[in-house]
Structure 1
Amino acid sequence: MNLYSYFRSSASYRVRIALNLKNLPYQIIPVHLVKSEQLTEDYSTKNPSKLVPSLELDNGKIITQSMAILDYLENEYPATPLLPNNHYDRAIVLSMCNIIACDTHPINNLRVLKYLTGELKVSDEQKQDWYAHWILVNFTALEELLKVHSGQYSFGDEITWADICLIPQVYNANRFKVDLTNFPNILKVVENCQKIEAFIIASPEKQVDFE
């Protein structure tokens, strides 16, 4: 499989972790978002949203959107499950995922930040305030769920999609220097995940396009 990825993209980071956890071979094809490589005609035919990631399967078919890719991998390669079987437990994990993938990431990603500073002319300080605000609001909600449901990881002692979504978002929060000291359960989960090889080799610093 080919994964069209940008080293700093948290959505791409999610998919890299999942592929590693499921021990699936894949090749990274870098798409440099800052250089607007996602806007080229060639890439746009692969992903009409002009975003990363895109996963190209062995048969040439392409899946876009990180959560759709995770769903495909979960169903196609069930030997290493990353979602609970119990319907309630699964719903809780998906709630955690959605706090990040729906409530946080879409309004803090690169194209939104570029729009804020470009079209809306906000200052770098205002952009930083915007980013930190949504991290703090949504991490506060997530922290409450982790108080109830976390063990070593976000949901008990088994790695799930919740961890796959959380680690990249924390990475970006740290990059933007957001103070996370009020989220001890989040930090506990991050510390435990960062000891696992699948997470380590998925990190931005380990990517072929890292700058």
Structure 2
Amino acid sequence: MVAEIEAMHANMRAGSSLPALPPSVSAALGKVERHRLLPAEQAGAAYRNIPLPIGQGQTISQPYIVALSTALAAPEPHHRMLEVGTGSGYQAAVLAELTAKVYSIEIIDALGQKAGRDLGLLGYRNIEIRIGDGYKGWPEQAPFDAIVVTAAAPRVPDALVSQLKSGGRLVIPVGPDGETQWLLLVTKLAGGAIEQKKILPVRFVPMVPGR
């Protein structure tokens, strides 16, 4: 699967401004046991480069998108990162292979609880999961070096931008459900200004606000 993702990325990079896929990201993808984060009926397709249903109307992201989002977030070993949308725990696991601490928020209690159990069984001790509203972020643990969002918001949430360190990166799909969405890289500049860059068109499940 990793070789397929690397080939796909090399093809998509041609004539574009996409960043290179660092060897560290490829290595992290190779380490994460994706089949152990999936429902039993989906495990046979775990290493295909496709999204898969995980219940509760949610999906585990396509591995290529996980790789690209991770590369855009540019994790370093000392970083503290926030993920919005734990889902199966797959994106969190990839980030946890590369960085010191991952905080992850999931709005659906059953998914968050299952991901926590599965990630614990896989030996991840640097991931903390909270059940809550991802639009609000995790202010008690802010600021973050990077934030990765795994569901599409109608616009970039101000709360998430405010929880980035200066120079921090927010990777987020933005756009209405069922219509064109874009994966954005939002960088917080000195003084609090932000820079937004469209990366590529995507299709994500919608980001659900808390009640």
TM-score scaled to structure 2, two decimals? 0.31
More strand by share: 2
Q: Which has the higher contact order (CA 8 A, sep 6+)?
A: 1
TM-score scaled to structure 1, two decimals? 0.31
